[in-house]
């Protein structure tokens, strides 16, 4: 069975986000008044398996070991059984 995986990675609250600051300042220079810009990374892939909970646990391990830095990042995992 194939599962569609989406991992959304964001900085933890209170962490400096230079990318968001640059976007906010640049938009201001263009005349747009925006506040609280946040940037997230989204990683999508597929995994083969039979147990959705086991897949989710494997993806959490991937996040902790490679996909993000758990000291400064939060992550949200979505697992959906592929309907194809």
* Domains, the chain, with CATH or none: 2-81 (3.30.1280.10)
Q: What is the pLDDT of residue 82?
A: 79
Average pLDDT of each block of 10 consecutive residues along the chain (84 residues)? Answer: 96 94 97 95 96 96 97 97 75
Whether the model pTM is above 0.75: yes
Q: What is the pLDDT of residue 81?
A: 87
Q: What is the pLDDT of residue 46?
A: 96
Q: What is the pLDDT of residue 84?
A: 63
CB 47 within 8 A of CB 59: yes
Q: What is the pLDDT of residue 58?
A: 97
Q: What is the pLDDT of residue 10?
A: 97
CB neighbourhood size of 68 (10 A): 19
Question: Tokens representing 60?
Answer: 């959490």
């Amino acid at each position: 069975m194939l599962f569609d995986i989406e991992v959304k990675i964001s900085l933890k609250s209170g962490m400096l986000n230079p990318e968001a600051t640059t976007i906010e300042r640049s938009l201001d220079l263009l005349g747009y008044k925006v506040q609280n810009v946040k940037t997230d990374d989204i990683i999508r892939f597929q995994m083969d398996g039979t147990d959705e909970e086991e897949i989710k646990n494997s993806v959490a391990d991937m996040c902790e070991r490679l996909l993000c830095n758990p000291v400064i990042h939060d992550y949200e995992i979505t697992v959906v059984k592929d309907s194809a």
